[in-house]
Structure 1
Amino acid sequence: MSVDRLPSGRFRARLTINGGKHAATFATRQEAEQWEILTRAQAITGSLPARVTVGEYAGRWLLGYRTAPRNTRVFHETNVKHIVAALGPFAIARVTPSDITRLVNTLIDSKTPALAERVYRTASALFASAAADGLCPAGSPVRSKRHRPRRQRSEHAVLERAQARQVLLQLAGWQRDTALIQLGLGARYGEIAGLTPYDIDLGRGLVHIRRRYSAHGNTVRATKDHRHRTLDIPQILRSPLERLVREAGEPPPLPELADR
């Protein structure tokens, strides 16, 4: 064992046990000597974390997904390739949050933010499993939400007022009414399609968004609690809504809502 004083004033302790090299830095020489005693004791009792590399552990970890659904298995197998390419030779116990941040930033710069986000999710599961197996004494290095990349939304073209008027002039009937409501309320198409006469309070000038229609699954689903909202009806929309409610007649029974 050797203890060296670094230029920063800290002490670096290095120890070789059964051909495996271990090192750590401490504020005082006494802490470094205590670490040496503890490390030797762990080696004798067999509790010293094995020097398993990220590449070795990733191979074993993927075996646990053999019976998983194919899309889950392929998802992790694809992402693990990027993790192993960057951190494969590293001892899994020595990977730090800075290494994860560097991996994520590299993928954002060289690939896409979407890929970086997927790799981050796989890395989180991989290192959480390693920490549970006792291979990461300091815990999983993927433990801070600030590392998670945010997927950048693509820009969407927005109609100017004059363009919106030109579009409305070319519409008629229910299409024009729907366009007016969407422009006036700022609600999504699925939210407008999920409206019933029960949701429109013309007397108070309010629209309650409680459910949404999914064209993909052809289903009506309850809107999540944190997305329930009440919108004010602009004066320009009163006439279309009054006519739509009047033409709808007696409100039909509310459709059964799918929770999942």
Structure 2
Amino acid sequence: MGKRYKVAGIPGVRDRSFETLEDAKAWLRRSATDEERGEFVDPRDGSITLADYIARHWAPGRSGAPKTQDGQERRTRLHIVPHLGHLPLRSITAADLRAYVAKLDGTVVSVDYRRGILSELSSVLEAAVDDKRLVANPMRAKSVRWPRAAQERREAWPLETALRIRDVISPRNRIAVVLGLGLGLRQGEVFGLSPEDIDHGRGVLHVRRQVQAIKGRLYFALPKGKKTRVVDMPPTVAEELKRHIAAFPPVEVELPWGKPEATAQRRKYSLLLTTRFGNAVAVNTWNTYTWKPALAKAGVIRPQAEGAKQWQWQAAPQDGFHVLRHTFASIMLEAGESVVTVARWLGHSSPAITLGYYAHFMPEAGSKGRTAVDALLGRTGNSMPVQTPQILPTAGPGRSRSTSGSGGGRGLQG
């Protein structure tokens, strides 16, 4: 026998059928109450699977920089859909998510990357709440515990290692090492640098663009955070730039601006560093065929195994180009440069970020304060003499004996 009673005619809600009149009335009462509270969700809207919801409703509405969107797509495709994509939205429970977090703990090493995956999943489920497909976001359950944010410390190379890399890398690419080590530029910023960005008169360099790649397609974009900046340029770096330009004249390159699509506006810039064929440099290709061979020559990583393909190298996540930037920061901070200034040169949004990453490169942190207090309290005048506390033996059970210090002060009693 089919269902005999139908609830119909509610704006925005699909008709529902019930076997008994009592069930129909009970559902209608609960729905009316939830509607008044603003909590009504038609359960059938949550029957869509997480994978389908992401593909049909979440992905098309993503916004942000192309590189950001690419990262979001990769996290959902590789880490969310394979594990949870088959579940209907309404069936995703806190228990499912606790098991998922535990699985990530065992398969994804980086705490920050794990948190990024969970943040992406939470954003998807939050959108489902906004779309009235879920009553609440299960990622917000108290029992679903995210991995604690790591207190990241950036590690630098000894200066001798960085200089060895500079000296063994090919002459055309030497300038990349100089700019990373001497100015703290990011890799894409080096590849996007133009002669027009160099101001020899003022001794500064303008960081105005970078070269990025998505799925092998190159394009120009603003530096990270969409912020240009001005970096102090030491004379030694300025001389290296002059020698590089004389030996390897800049080449004009045209690429899309802002996104890699063919429909994007295109711009032309003369680039300081290009391939032998006059093309913009692709980060992944450069890392494989230029950077890794230099690491091997300098003894930072093992040479290629016999019979290995040209692109097969030892993994070296701590020895990527970014370590030059960390080494630059360490040199500046150990030399006593202001954290605010270093943050500005690095393009950090706040000096707090710089401190969080690089505070361990400041070996004298605290010593200036101690010196100032010592100078203040050590002034001559009506000051109390400094006493040395003493720990004294007890005279017997329940009794103690004390003596005076040389200046009349009390000792600590044992």
Q: TM-score normalised to the size of structure 1?
A: 0.54
Aligned to 1:232: 232
Aligned to 1:212: 210
Distance 1:159 1:83, change over 3 A: farther
- State the identity %: 20
Aligned length in residues: 210
Distance 1:223 1:257 in 2: 12
- CA apart distance, 1:243: 2.9
Distance 1:160 1:191 in 2: 23
Tell whether the 8 Å contact from 2:182 to 2:237 is kept in structure 1 after alignment.
yes
Tell whether the 8 Å contact from 1:199 to 1:208 is kept in structure 2 after alignment.
yes
Aligned to 2:30: 43
Which consecutive residues of structure 2, in runs of 5 or more, have no partner in the other structure? 1-21, 60-72, 260-414
1:2-57 deviations in whole A, cap 9, x for unaligned? xxxxxxxxxxxxxxxx68xxxxxxxxxxxxxxxxxxx998338586757959xx93
1:79-108 deviations in whole A, cap 9, x for unaligned? 425977xx9485xxxx7xxx8985675455
- CA apart distance, 1:211: 1.6
Distance 1:236 1:131, change over 3 A: closer
Aligned to 2:131: 132
Q: 2:84 aligns with which of 59, 64, 80?
A: 80
- CA apart distance, 1:181: 2.4
Distance 2:219 2:43 in 1: 50
Q: Which amino acid aligns with 2:237?
A: L
Q: 1:57 aligns with which of 46, 66, 69?
A: 46
SS at match of 2:205: strand
- CA apart distance, 1:201: 0.4
SS at match of 1:195: coil
Q: TM-score normalised to the size of structure 2?
A: 0.37
Q: Which amino acid aligns with 1:197?
A: P
User: Is 2:222 aligned against 1:223?
Assistant: yes
Distance 1:157 1:231 in 2: 22
Q: Which amino acid aligns with 1:57?
A: G
Tell whether the 8 Å contact from 1:104 to 1:149 is kept in structure 2 after alignment.
no
Aligned to 2:358: none
Distance 1:256 1:154 in 2: 35
Distance 2:188 2:156 in 1: 19
Aligned to 2:306: none
Q: 1:182 aligns with which of 180, 205, 225?
A: 180
Which of structures 1 and 2 has the larger relative contact order (alpha carbons within 8 angstroms, sep 6+)? 2
User: Is 2:241 aligned against 1:241?
Assistant: yes
Tell whether the 8 Å contact from 2:206 to 2:231 is kept in structure 1 after alignment.
yes
Distance 2:96 2:243 in 1: 58
Tell whether the 8 Å contact from 1:79 to 1:122 is kept in structure 2 after alignment.
no
Distance 1:40 1:221 in 2: 56
Aligned to 1:200: 198
SS at match of 1:243: helix
Tell whether the 8 Å contact from 1:50 to 1:135 is kept in structure 2 after alignment.
yes
Tell whether the 8 Å contact from 2:46 to 2:133 is kept in structure 1 after alignment.
no
Distance 1:50 1:215 in 2: 42
Q: Which amino acid aligns with 1:129?
A: A
Which consecutive residues of structure 1, in runs of 5 or more, have no partner in the other structure? 1-17, 20-38
Distance 1:134 1:167, change over 3 A: closer
Tell whether the 8 Å contact from 1:124 to 1:142 is kept in structure 2 after alignment.
no
Tell whether the 8 Å contact from 1:83 to 1:123 is kept in structure 2 after alignment.
no
SS at match of 1:221: strand
- CA apart distance, 1:258: 1.3
SS at match of 1:175: helix
- CA apart distance, 1:237: 1.2
1:126-156 deviations in whole A, cap 9, x for unaligned? 35324533752xx545579xx8768869998
SS at match of 2:166: helix
- CA apart distance, 1:213: 2.4
Distance 1:157 1:62 in 2: 39
Tell whether the 8 Å contact from 2:42 to 2:133 is kept in structure 1 after alignment.
no
SS at match of 1:207: strand
- CA apart distance, 1:63: 5.0
- CA apart distance, 1:110: 4.4
Distance 2:256 2:52 in 1: 39
SS at match of 1:159: coil
Tell whether the 8 Å contact from 1:182 to 1:189 is kept in structure 2 after alignment.
yes
Distance 1:193 1:103 in 2: 43
- CA apart distance, 1:239: 1.3
Q: Which amino acid aligns with 1:43?
A: R
Distance 1:258 1:160, change over 3 A: same
Tell whether the 8 Å contact from 2:122 to 2:137 is kept in structure 1 after alignment.
no
Distance 1:44 1:177 in 2: 68
1:202-221 deviations in whole A, cap 9, x for unaligned? 11111111122246746340
